[in-house]
Amino acid sequence: MAMTQGIKPQVVMSAVYILGYFGLLYAFVQGHVEVQEQFTSLFNGLLGVLSAAQIQIINFWFGSSFGSKEKTAALVRGK
């Protein structure tokens, strides 16, 4: 996708997600978002899913892609 459309869509989507995630987290911690008792487990699950996606974004930019590239290069050198 980056080869055909450039890196801008990934940057925009990552920035929007990160700002939204930390905005929600900040609002919740500061008490601006109040979760009713019957929705507490639902909110906790949602926060867990959003947190896991946050890790995937970090891996995309800093970890997973680079590690995969290095692994592929090592396999090619070994053959």
User: Could you list the residue range(s) of the whole structural domain that residue 65 is in?
Assistant: 2-78
> Contact 14/61 with Cβ under 8 angstroms?
yes
Find out whether 58 and 17 touch, Cβ atoms under 8 Å. Answer: no
> Is the model's pLDDT at 70 over the cut of 90?
no
Q: How far apart are CA 40 and CA 46, in angstroms?
A: 10
Q: Are 1 and 9 in contact (CB under 8 A)?
A: yes
pLDDT per residue as tens digits for the range 52-68:
999 999 988 887 666 66
> Per-residue b/e over 18-28, b at no fewer than 16 CB within 10 Å?
eeebeeeeeee
- Is the pTM for the entire model greater than 0.85? no
pLDDT digits (tens, 9 = 90+) for 3-41: 777 888 899 999 999 999 999 999 999 999 889 999 999
Please give the tally of structural domains in the chain.
1
Handedness of CA 9, 10, 11, 14 (dihedral sign): positive
